[in-house]
Amino acid sequence: MKSIEEPPSYTANTVIIGRNSRGNWVAQELNGLFGGLFVNRAQAMKYALFENGHHPETIVLTADIIELDMHHRVTVLPETIGSIAIVRKAA
């Protein structure tokens, strides 16, 4: 019997980070798989990195108001594209 080695699958999830209407920081996976409310951006980032397997390239910061909703998929409206920044890890 021959053994076949497969590369590990890429399981990082895209996480949107922003503030809700009350000023709390929100981190939510794009498909609503996980999310939470935080008192500061640093804690939201720490949570997002932990939950998505430490892939900073899949974290998206937005200046728009986002509300934590664990029942529906997060939608990014076309007019908000200009206010979204992708987080890159410094070399």
Question: pLDDT tens, 37-76?
Answer: 999 999 999 999 999 999 999 999 999 999 998 776 655 5
Burial 41-67 (b: 16+ CB within 10 A, else e): eeebbebbbebbeebbebbbbbeeebe
pLDDT at 1: 46
pLDDT band at 90 (very low <50, low <70, confident <90, very high): very low
**The model's pTM:** 0.68
27-39 pLDDT tens trace: 999 888 899 999 9
Tokens of 53: 């397997």
pLDDT at 13: 85
Computed over every residue of the chain, the mean pLDDT equals: 78
pLDDT at 31: 85
Query: Would residue 60 be called left, alpha or beta, if left means φ above 0 and alpha means ψ between -120 and 50 degrees?
Result: beta
